């Protein structure tokens, strides 16, 4: 068993070229959980769930749409790269994500934000640094190092010259080279060398070859829209057009946005794609959401459904809360979305690192019930069995894939 796990863990780190001939077949035949799910199960508190998950240790990994690669597998690989998505596909993720933004020449590329190049690439240490909206400024005294570099600062040709890295920056840096450091100690730079950036169109081709479906997120622009005549509607339409040009069936695509206007645009103008449009929610996009008081939400789930919204994706902490006994239970938001027959997708498991300290923002509504790494599976079980989510984003999809396979999801 250990030898198989080590071989499987090594497989997901192979370079993109290793599977260029028949990637889908390679990943269908060679899916691997790697060691992490077993590590987390070992760290669980003894009980029925731990025993059930242990009983599945001999199961054969199978791809599942319940497992969604969040930017690929960025716990260990630079996000939104070919390699990160190879890793996610190798761990059985049935749906992969490209966060979509645009360059100066209005080409769509995969980045978590239009203005994240200074933390996700080496741009501040290249000749393109002078093109940044805010060039690198070193730390001095109590002032932290700063920079802001946008995809819209560059043409696609210039964007392609950048080297992706783990998302991080060193706020104490006095040089651009120092600024590129800062990877969290629970992540790694082991697989950051020679990673490959992607356009949105390239991500479509890659995910299709890997046998996965698609959940692109239309990111908010950092520039004022319209941008050089490129309107928000043009932007939303171009995302859909690239799937149509690639011949992708709309049933395989779940387009996402925090901007409700984008979701409505897809529903009204591209109804086949709009039927699976996902309305993303957090406390910055929905006023009052953090308080879980329906009177402060600014929306009614039944009204969302009436407007054609079939899927919503609240951040994970807004789907679970603690009851009087301190047990994790579905939130009021989760209950009302289910009552409105709106499918729920949760984000993002394994985004916060080790759980011994309570897990950070992604667990802030259930902190008192979180004290060990094995609790990743406890909250995942509540999301799946009690909240009834239809999929879970994770920074390491193998964790979710293992659970889904064991539970027959």
pLDDT, one tens digit per residue, over 87-117 is 999 999 999 999 999 999 999 999 999 999 9
Q: Are residues 170 and 310 in the same domain?
A: no
114 lies in the same domain as 205: no
Residue 69 sits in the same domain as residue 114: no
User: Do 326 and 236 lie in a common domain?
Assistant: yes
153 upstream amide cis, omega within 30 of 0: no
Counting DSSP H helices and E strands in the chain, the numbers are: 16, 15
Q: Are 358 and 285 contained in the same domain?
A: yes
Is residue 72 within 8 A of residue 80, CB to CB? The reply is yes
In-domain check, residue 331: yes
pLDDT for 292: 75
Calculate ∠ Cα 374-379-385, nearest 5°: 125
Residue of higher predicted confidence among 28 and 379: 379
pLDDT score of 27: 54
Is there a domain that residue 190 lies in?
no
Residues 211 and 274 in one domain: yes
pLDDT category at 153 given cuts 50, 70, 90 is: very high
Provide the domain count of the chain: 2
Looking at the structure, do residues 309 and 340 belong to the same domain, yes or no?
yes
Q: Is residue 191 part of a domain?
A: no
In this prediction, residues 259-269 reach a mean pLDDT of: 97
**Which domain CATH number covers 230?**
3.20.20.190
Tell whether 279 is covered by a domain.
yes
In contact, 173 and 181? CB cutoff 8 Å: yes
Q: Each residue of 343-369: b (16+ CB within 10 Å) or e?
A: bbbbbbbbbbbebeebbeebbbbbbeb
Same domain, 212 and 308: yes
Measure the CA–CA gap between 206 and 82, rounded to whole angstroms.
Answer: 8
Maximum pairwise Cα distance, the chain: 60
Q: Which of 179, 212, 239 is the last residue of a domain?
A: 179
* C-alpha to C-alpha distance for 38 and 251, rounded to whole angstroms: 33
Among the ranges given (20-34, 220-234, 305-319), the one the predictor scored with the smallest mean pLDDT: 20-34
**320 and 369, same domain (yes or no):** yes
Residue 36 clears pLDDT 50, i.e. is over it: yes
- Alpha-carbon dihedral 332, 335, 337, 342, rounded to 10 degrees: 160
Q: Does the pLDDT value for residue 270 go beyond 60?
A: yes
Report yes or no on 61 lying in a domain.
Answer: yes
Residue at 185 is within a domain = no
Q: Look up the domain containing 217 and give its range.
A: 2-98+198-407
Q: Are residues 149 and 21 located together in one domain of the fold?
A: no
Cα(232)–Cα(163) distance, integer angstroms: 29
Q: Sorting pLDDT into bands at 50, 70 and 90, what band is 19?
A: very low
Dihedral, 364, 367, 373, 375 alpha carbons, nearest 10:
-100
Judged by average pLDDT, the poorest of 36-40, 93-97, 228-232, 288-292 is: 288-292
pLDDT on residue 289: 82
- Is the Cβ–Cβ distance between 4 and 189 less than 8 Å? no
Q: Is 187 within the bounds of a domain? A: no
Give the domain-ending residue among 116, 145, 179.
179
Mark which of 128, 145, 179 sits at the end of a domain.
179
Q: Which two tokens stand for residue 324?
A: 């009087």
> How much is the pLDDT for 26?
57
Contact 317, 363 (CB under 8 A): yes
Contact 171, 188 (CB under 8 A): no
Between the two ends of the chain, the Cα-to-Cα distance in Å is: 24
Contact status, residue 60 vs residue 373, Cβ threshold 8 Å: no
Same domain for 289 and 347, yes or no, is yes
Q: How far apart are CA 235 and CA 215, in angstroms?
A: 16
User: Are residues 119 and 91 both part of a single domain?
Assistant: no
């Amino acid at each position: 068993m250990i030898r198989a796990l080590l071989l499987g863990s090594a497989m997901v780190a192979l370079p993109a070229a290793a599977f260029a001939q028949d990637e889908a077949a390679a990943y269908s035949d060679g899916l691997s959980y790697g060691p992490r799910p077993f590590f987390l199960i070992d760290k669980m508190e003894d009980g029925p769930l731990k025993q059930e998950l242990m009983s599945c240790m001999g199961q054969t990994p199978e791809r599942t749409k319940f497992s969604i690669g969040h930017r690929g597998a960025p716990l260990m690989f630079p996000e939104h790269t070919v390699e990160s998505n190879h890793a996610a596909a190798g761990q059985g993720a049935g749906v992969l994500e490209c966060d979509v933004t645009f360059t100066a020449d209005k080409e769509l590329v995969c980045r978590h934000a239009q203005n994240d190049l200074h933390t996700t690439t080496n741009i501040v240490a290249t000749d393109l640094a002078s093109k940044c909206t805010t060039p690198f400024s070193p730390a001095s005294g109590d002032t932290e190092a700063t920079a802001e570099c946008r995809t819209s600062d560059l043409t696609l040709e210039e964007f392609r010259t950048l080297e992706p890295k783990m998302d991080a920056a060193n706020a104490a840096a006095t040089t651009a080279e120092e600024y590129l450091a800062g990877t969290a100690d629970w992540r790694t730079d082991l697989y950051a060398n020679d990673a490959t950036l992607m356009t949105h169109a390239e991500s479509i081709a890659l995910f299709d070859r890997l046998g996965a479906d698609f959940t692109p997120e239309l990111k908010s622009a950092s520039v004022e829209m319209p941008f050089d005549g490129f309107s928000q509607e043009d932007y939303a339409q171009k995302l859909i057009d690239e799937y149509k040009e690639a011949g992708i069936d709309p049933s395989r695509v779940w387009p996402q946005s925090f901007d409700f206007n984008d979701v409505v645009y897809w529903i009204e103008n591209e109804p086949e794609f709009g039927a699976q449009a996902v309305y993303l929610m957090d406390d910055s996009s929905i006023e009052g959401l953090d308080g879980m008081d329906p009177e402060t939400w600014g929306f009614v789930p039944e009204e969302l459904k009436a407007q054609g919204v079939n899927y919503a994706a609240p951040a994970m902490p807004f789907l679970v809360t603690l009851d009087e006994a301190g047990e994790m239970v579905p939130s009021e938001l989760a209950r009302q979305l289910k009552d409105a027959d709106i499918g729920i997708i949760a984000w993002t498991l394994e985004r916060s690192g080790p759980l011994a300290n309570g897990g950070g923002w992604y667990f802030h509504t259930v902190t008192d019930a979180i004290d060990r790494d094995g609790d990743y599976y406890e909250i995942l079980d509540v999301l799946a069995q009690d909240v009834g989510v239809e999929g879970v984003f994770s920074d390491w999809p193998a964790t979710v894939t293992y659970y889904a396979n064991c539970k027959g999801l």
